[in-house]
Amino acid sequence: MNFEFKECVEKGKIKEYSRGREIAGKELLEAKSDHKSAIESMDALNYKWATVQAYYAMFHTARALLYNKNYRETSHYCLILAVKELYVNQGLLDVGMTEALQEGKNLREAADYNGEWSVETCKNLLIKAGQFIEKADELIK
């Protein structure tokens, strides 16, 4: 077990959650809804908001994956570590997906807190979010 993941568990940032599997699909639907909204925002030329929504599509996707393993999170950082531990390290998910999730977190924070975003990064993040959702859909079914 990865040291950082273990630390997240010990600090209560990642917890076992017996209802996880039963709500994983619902959480993935939330991710799909956020992704659809992000595309609509991008089409309306609202790239800042589309960037934020694209990240949350990825966040809810990661959360669905965590629920699927009967865990829940209280930290975005630990959520990323948990997906790495439970999926990437098990050969179920390409590391590029968690790298894209981390990138999305950084882009969301830059847009939210610093007013920094771009059309190109928004479009790229939307593509990555869609790919992440598709892969999670395969893993959760």
What's the pLDDT tens digit per position in 96-111? 999 999 999 999 999 9
Give the pLDDT score at 64.
98
In a domain, 94, yes or no: yes
Give the pLDDT score at 2.
86
Average pLDDT over residues 1-20: 93
What's the pLDDT tens digit per position in 32-75? 999 999 999 999 999 999 999 999 999 999 999 999 999 999 99
Residues 90 and 45: their CA atoms lie apart, in Å, by 39
CATH number for the domain that contains residue 100: 1.20.120.330
Domain residues for the domain of 85 are 17-140
SS percent in the chain: helix, strand, coil, step 5:
75, 5, 20
User: Positive or negative, the Cα torsion across 87, 92, 93, 94?
Assistant: positive
In a domain, 102, yes or no: yes
Query: Angle, nearest 10°, between helix axes 47-68 and 20-43?
Result: 170
For residue 141 the two structure tokens come to 């079914």
> Which pTM was predicted?
0.95
In a domain, 119, yes or no: yes
In a domain, 84, yes or no: yes
